[in-house]
Structure 1
Amino acid sequence: MIFFNKIKTTRHIAVWVQTLFALPAIFIGVSSASCQLNEAHASGITISYQHSLEKIFRESNLGKTDTLPVIDVAKGEVASLQYIINGDKDITDVDVHFNSNEQNKDILSGARAYYEGFVRAMIFADKRSRDFLPAHDNEYPDPLYSFPCKQITANQNQPCWISIPVGANAKTGDYKCSVTFTGKYKGQSFMLTRRFIVKVYPVVLSKDDILSVSNWFAFETPQNEYKKTFKRMNAGADVPYNSELYWGYLKKYAAIMSAHGQNVFYLSPVHLVTYKRDGNKWGFDFSFFDKVAGTLQANTKLKFIEGGALALRGNGWEGNFRMLFPHQENGTWGVGLQDLSNPDVQQFYKAFMPALCAHLKEKGWDKIYIQHIADEPIDANADSYISISKFIRAQLTCNLKFIDAVQTTKVAGYVDIWVPQLDFFDKNAAFFENRRRSYNETVWFYTSAFPQGNYANRFIELPLAKVRLLHWINFKYNASGYLHWGFNFWDDNLLMQHKSGSDGLPAGDAWIVYPGNNEVLSSIRFETMRDGINDYTLLRMLQKQNAAAAQVLVNKIVLSYDNYNTDAATILAIHKQLLVALSK
């Protein structure tokens, strides 16, 4: 929000005209019979700058900086920074306002400020990283809430996150900015201002060679009610299928995913199609699939539609894969599992795959549609994966590419887009580089509840640097995509347990956003992931100009697959060096 647009009136109106960096910023505020506390009289309140890679705990003692903060960005990036609010007495009704003037109004038009909420992590990675972050009462900052903040408890830090999207058409130069914090302290109103500079370089974030990014997301569908995620944003009330509210919530998912670099979207065709069956004859209605895919295409920078798995494990981790198969009970369609050897299953897919191909061609999606066979094949069930892949490929009437997360190399020849888990990628680096170079296949990587130890991941117990560096790993090891299964697989205790059901997943694995009141709330991890995705793009841009220079910079941060320089000052300095190099 822009401060001069927040006009409040009472019987007593006071108008302050403040000079910021020799440029006028006009705002109108409220006074009462008591005086407004300024810096000198609100000495019990501290508001100190902190960079965007620090996790700020309630008990952190990070000290103050006496230098004017400078945030370095390319055009198209987001300037991210934090402030820490602390008081020797309770502070209430805290709000944050951006002071706009002629010099900075263009970049501040989309600026947002949030206060960071805390979640209690109940489960951690079994294999701890050497840079594990311990927290008092296991409470970690993560969700981002819009101001105002009702209360900040005395002698506890309240971190504040600021995001300033810088448009591709922004002018190059130093933008002198400030934010004003208002609230009540010791029964009186206060107003304290903090200044910073957003330095915009003559570099525009490229729209080419962008990272492929997929966060699998849960939403209710007619065939799969595993997670009623829309309900959580609707005060616990069900959201009817095909209602205006339903599609409105899907658009909100699309908006926040797209704003954070996601361009690949997992949709299960088997669960999004309506069926008719007359003996061995099948009929397919793709209208619901079309509306979901069309909504995503209209509201994102869609790169790929990621067709969901056609098979799942039948019995445990080493179990062979079985086919998804639609069936009808008491007039209601559901999806179960059957063996590929079942004649009904074969008859279904002999009809379904050609129909899917024809429909993708009709919609113009056949070139951007990639298809999963089954998730995470391993050596023990690789043969069943291959059998299913052969069968499915034989039914195709279009040239689809196949993608899967893998933990085996035995499925070579049946995967076009390899997505190894990061540690498996590490152990089989030569294999994947050979598939990329010699077979013209694509390599991504994924993280989930694993790998653990010193590998980068999105666990809430890890430094934010390890979230950002995921995509420096993408660049260094020629992995052109990143996949994670957990965008929003929320459970019933979002702010207290931060795990998925009874699966015992490390906190931070199952979701990276939170349900708000008719909105999706971002997190400091999601903001940081977006910044890392933009880093990847900058590295690719420099690689085109000077490949050796790009490699030198990434090698200073990513030492190996599980060894990194996570010093925040170094990462931000290297980011600045990227911008300087690209400015030449």
Structure 2
Amino acid sequence: MKKIVYPVLLGLICSLLCSACSVKRISPEVTAYVVDNAQKVMKEQSLSYKENSLQINLAKNEYEGMQFILNNGMEDFKVKDVSVSKLTHENGKDFIGTDSITVYRQHYMYVDIHYYTYTGYPDGYYPDALIETKYDSEIYPEGFPVTKNENQGYWITVYSEKNQTAGNYTGEVTVVTDKKTLTIPIECKVYDFEISEDVHFKTYYGLFETNNYEGQMAQYYEFFKKYRMSSWRLPIEDMAPEEKYLNAAQTYATGSDITSYFVDLNGRRGWVEDPVFGKIYRFHNDFISMTNKLNAITPGKVYALTHDEPEHKGSADPNSDDFWAKGVEWFTGVANNDLPNVKTVITHDNKLPTFGSPAGFIRYTPDVWCIKPSNTVEGDAADMHANGKELWWYTCNWPVYPAMNTHIDSDLVAARLLAWMGFDYNIDGYLCYAATIMGRATNAANPDPNVWQNPYNYLDENGGGDPAGDGYVVIQGREGDGVINQNVPVPTIRLEALRDGMEDYEYLYNYKQKLNKIIADLGIDLDANDAMQMFYDALYNGTTDFDSDTQKFVFTRNDLAQKICEDVNFVYYITRGNENYDCGKRTIYVYSDGTQPVTINGKTVQGENGKYSLTVDIDETKYRNDFNITVGDKQVSVHCYPDIVSKSTVLTNIDDFKTQIIEANKRMSVSVENGKLIADFTKDSKRVNIPFEALTGVSDYTPYSHIRVKMETADGSYIPAGDMTFMAKSGASTTVSFKACPSGSVVDIPINDEFLDILKHSPLKLVFSYGVSNNTTILISDIKAIFKDVQIIK
């Protein structure tokens, strides 16, 4: 987990969504562009003139993808066939057969509605569904049509068998169009380790609307299992009789590749007459008996959701009989008592209740808290585990960027990083509330409910809605749908990224196991997590600050794989150190048995009791710094990326301007502490001011696109709708309105011409006003200016 706080590291979203070239390219003929598998390439996106070989690295028993993009800037064309040869090992004998390779066409969805807390992603056609090319050959016998100067992406998934020979393989992709035939070389490396069938990161994927034809529930259950994902329930009816439930558990859930399943509590409980206590609420005896038998078949895998975001459904008043936490204590308490072999789960759209808070008394009530990644507090997971509980993450319509999510317009690498962060933060599982919803919302601007055209699960009458892709990571192919014409689940590029993340989790698990063995053999006092921090440091600062530079991700994953394969009996890593570290320096540590000399970049390092360290200078002009380490005759390397502090600038250290801020808000109760402005709003006091003199971080705003502000409520309730106004002494102003949003959201203020004009005429203050009806305490913090090359603002 992140143990330090350091300058913000934001990757260029432009490198994902508008990558490689700012000049619109015109391909004079059908051209193939190779990109890595951690990014999405939009249909109208400009690409550079690069024709590299496709490269893929994977372990044994792993699926991994690669992609290329076709474009012709001069004329329309048709893709008649895309085929992949077998991949042949360098020994000339072993190979990965074509039956282990699947070719998909990327299907694009037009997205023009972005969740209101972040609107930086551009409108346009995003790749999502992955359609096997075998369906295209039936529906488009003359070839799939591609419009000139539009991209058409293809995704190739390769599977490496458990007994696959490690080493380098080569092959090629052949693309036949009506204009020309292209050949793209493939370079494949299979690492000399295996991903176990055991899944170590628990999951819940809600398979809604999957009872439309005979066998669909089982079909989708097995499909998700192939992606290392456990479905929400066993593939039977919710109220199925006990025998059917027990048979399903035995058939589907006994393997180590299934981590959990949930039983539905509806219809399983009620008020009964007790001879001692009178009328009591409890679960039915036959259900209690069945859950005990289920646990005997699948020990520790039986879960039940007792509350879904209860903080939004009960009263927020602790003195009310309807206080939401009292309802949790009562009902979850009944479930805990009656169903001792079922783990009770609560999804919670806030941080965990803390002792001393109004809801603190239920901190240890459920067996599992399931919270948003952005609401994670350091130490929560350790505390839950110390008390025999679990901590899971979930995502849905919120949070959005800069937090992690899996929406169509989100960074693809974010879906993959969910598992990396889950391992880092010691999270037990991930819940995707809905993975297969077929219903699509419509309004005047989006009248077509066709799942192949409409990406929205919810739209409102004002032109807004939930993010595209919320509610599904699979599209249900159906007979007669004109796209697949078969009853089959169709994966999305997001689902592929989620599976890749699950497999990356096993990389991390393998490496930690290796480190723990070496640490035990050496008999040293070292936490393996400290040695793994260097991987996380390369990719993110926290759950709301990840680097979208996919080159860094690809390199870091491959570096992790190489370290798993190394035959060494020592531990080594590079670290920043404590929270007050020097950005221009790092420290490299080596732990060995102390019998062999140690050098770092050719310099001999002296150690004591097998512990060696050297502080090195970081060249901040380099994209990446590499350091070679030798221990005896073994040579290894560590890497680090310089901290990029220029992508955003902190506008104010609020604590330094406490006096000025309080003076500017004489009409309301305001305090400043720990970097946050804390304002108590009432129906009579609805505005808080930040004097411009406190915004000292930037003198020239022209290189920046917007100001970003984080907002929270003290009780975790939604931020009321409101306005942000930048005002000059003359009275001139520019205002940006925002809708009600979850606590912890970031809101952006565009730096437009009006904003820049006010800067020329004695700027006075930044004013936040909210439409509050009751007393509300709002916390404002993390006020930053974001460079133009980081985000694209609508």
Q: Same fold, TM exceeding 0.5? A: yes
Q: Equivalent residue for 1:60?
A: 45
Give, in whole Å, the separation in 1 of the partners of 2:272 and 2:375.
Answer: 28
Give, in whole Å, the separation in 2 of the partners of 1:194 and 1:206.
Answer: 32
Q: TM-score, normalised by structure 1?
A: 0.74
1:157 to 137, 151, 160: 151
Indicate yes or no: 2:475 matched with 1:518: no
Secondary structure at the residue paired with 2:81?
Answer: strand
| 1:287 Cα deviation after fit | 4.3
Give, in whole Å, the separation in 2 of the partners of 1:423 and 1:167.
Answer: 37
Give, in whole Å, the separation in 2 of the partners of 1:344 and 1:118.
Answer: 61
> Structure 2 vs 1, CA of residues 392 and 522 (structure 1 numbering), >3 Å: closer, same or farther?
same
> Structure 2 vs 1, CA of residues 230 and 194 (structure 1 numbering), >3 Å: closer, same or farther?
farther
2:308 to 338, 360, 375: 375
> Structure 2 vs 1, CA of residues 377 and 158 (structure 1 numbering), >3 Å: closer, same or farther?
same
Indicate yes or no: 2:381 matched with 1:387: no
Secondary structure at the residue paired with 2:563?
Answer: helix
- What amino acid maps onto 1:158 in structure 2? Q
Secondary structure at the residue paired with 2:421?
Answer: helix
* 1:6-61, Cα deviation, whole Å (9 max, x unpaired): xxxxxxxxxxxxxxxxxxxxxxxxxxxxxxxxxxxx96211221111221112112
Contact 2:77–2:178 (CA<8 Å) still a contact in 1? Answer: yes
1:535 to 504, 507, 514: 504
Q: Equivalent residue for 2:290?
A: 356
Mapping 1:239-258, distance limit 5 Å: 239=213, 246-247=214-215, 249-258=216-225
> Structure 2 vs 1, CA of residues 215 and 357 (structure 1 numbering), >3 Å: closer, same or farther?
closer
| 1:76 Cα deviation after fit | 2.1
> Structure 2 vs 1, CA of residues 451 and 256 (structure 1 numbering), >3 Å: closer, same or farther?
same
Secondary structure at the residue paired with 1:555?
Answer: helix
Q: Equivalent residue for 1:302?
A: 258
Mapping 1:115-154, distance limit 5 Å: 115-128=105-118, 132-136=120-124, 139-147=125-133, 148=136, 150-154=144-148
Mapping 1:495-510, distance limit 5 Å: 495-502=452-459, 504-510=465-471
Give, in whole Å, the separation in 2 of the partners of 1:102 and 1:366.
Answer: 43
Indicate yes or no: 2:24 matched with 1:91: no
Indicate yes or no: 2:365 matched with 1:414: yes
Contact 1:73–1:199 (CA<8 Å) still a contact in 2? Answer: yes
Give, in whole Å, the separation in 2 of the partners of 1:444 and 1:202.
Answer: 32
* 1:272-308, Cα deviation, whole Å (9 max, x unpaired): 225xxxxxxxxxx234544654564389922222223
Farther off after superposition, 370-379 or 506-515: 370-379
> Structure 2 vs 1, CA of residues 479 and 347 (structure 1 numbering), >3 Å: closer, same or farther?
closer
- What amino acid maps onto 2:61 in structure 1? G
Q: Equivalent residue for 1:198?
A: 188
Contact 2:272–2:280 (CA<8 Å) still a contact in 1? Answer: yes
> Structure 2 vs 1, CA of residues 125 and 181 (structure 1 numbering), >3 Å: closer, same or farther?
same
| 1:66 Cα deviation after fit | 4.8
Contact 2:272–2:282 (CA<8 Å) still a contact in 1? Answer: no
- What amino acid maps onto 1:215 in structure 2? Y
Q: Equivalent residue for 1:434?
A: 383
> Structure 2 vs 1, CA of residues 306 and 350 (structure 1 numbering), >3 Å: closer, same or farther?
closer
Unaligned runs of 5+ in 1: 1-41, 219-226, 232-238, 240-245, 275-284, 311-323, 327-336
Farther off after superposition, 82-91 or 459-468: 82-91
- What amino acid maps onto 2:108 in structure 1? F
Contact 1:91–1:183 (CA<8 Å) still a contact in 2? Answer: yes
Secondary structure at the residue paired with 1:444?
Answer: strand
Give, in whole Å, the separation in 2 of the partners of 1:370 and 1:562.
Answer: 29
Over aligned residues, Cα RMSD in angstroms?
3.0
> Structure 2 vs 1, CA of residues 64 and 346 (structure 1 numbering), >3 Å: closer, same or farther?
farther
Give, in whole Å, the separation in 2 of the partners of 1:345 and 1:520.
Answer: 47
Give, in whole Å, the separation in 2 of the partners of 1:484 and 1:467.
Answer: 11
Unaligned runs of 5+ in 2: 1-26, 137-142, 317-322, 354-358, 441-448, 478-485, 516-527, 567-794
> Structure 2 vs 1, CA of residues 50 and 101 (structure 1 numbering), >3 Å: closer, same or farther?
closer
Q: TM-score, normalised by structure 2?
A: 0.55
> Structure 2 vs 1, CA of residues 212 and 299 (structure 1 numbering), >3 Å: closer, same or farther?
closer
Give, in whole Å, the separation in 1 of the partners of 2:279 and 2:432.
Answer: 30
Farther off after superposition, 119-128 or 296-305: 296-305
> Structure 2 vs 1, CA of residues 441 and 297 (structure 1 numbering), >3 Å: closer, same or farther?
closer
Higher RCO, Cα 8 Å, sep 6+:
1
Contact 2:198–2:256 (CA<8 Å) still a contact in 1? Answer: no
Give, in whole Å, the separation in 2 of the partners of 1:341 and 1:384.
Answer: 21
> Structure 2 vs 1, CA of residues 153 and 204 (structure 1 numbering), >3 Å: closer, same or farther?
same
| 1:199 Cα deviation after fit | 0.9
Q: Equivalent residue for 2:172?
A: 178
1:273 to 217, 239, 255: 239
* 1:247-273, Cα deviation, whole Å (9 max, x unpaired): 2x223212321122203533599x622
Farther off after superposition, 528-537 or 83-92: 83-92
| 1:506 Cα deviation after fit | 1.3
Indicate yes or no: 2:163 matched with 1:169: yes
* 1:300-320, Cα deviation, whole Å (9 max, x unpaired): 922222223x3xxxxxxxxxx
Q: Equivalent residue for 1:402?
A: 344
Indicate yes or no: 2:422 matched with 1:459: no
* Greater helix fraction, Structure 1 or Structure 2: 1
Give, in whole Å, the separation in 1 of the partners of 2:342 and 2:192.
Answer: 40
| 1:392 Cα deviation after fit | 2.6
Secondary structure at the residue paired with 2:253?
Answer: helix
| 1:401 Cα deviation after fit | 2.5
Contact 1:468–1:532 (CA<8 Å) still a contact in 2? Answer: yes
Contact 2:88–2:169 (CA<8 Å) still a contact in 1? Answer: no
| 1:170 Cα deviation after fit | 0.9
Give, in whole Å, the separation in 2 of the partners of 1:178 and 1:530.
Answer: 24
Secondary structure at the residue paired with 1:374?
Answer: strand
- What amino acid maps onto 1:126 in structure 2? Y
Indicate yes or no: 2:19 matched with 1:77: no
* 1:531-564, Cα deviation, whole Å (9 max, x unpaired): 1111111112112223233221122212112111
2:393 to 438, 445, 448: 445
| 1:141 Cα deviation after fit | 1.0
Q: Equivalent residue for 1:17?
A: none
Contact 2:55–2:66 (CA<8 Å) still a contact in 1? Answer: no
Q: Equivalent residue for 1:12?
A: none
> Structure 2 vs 1, CA of residues 360 and 293 (structure 1 numbering), >3 Å: closer, same or farther?
closer
Secondary structure at the residue paired with 2:131?
Answer: strand
Contact 2:395–2:431 (CA<8 Å) still a contact in 1? Answer: yes
Give, in whole Å, the separation in 2 of the partners of 1:68 and 1:439.
Answer: 51
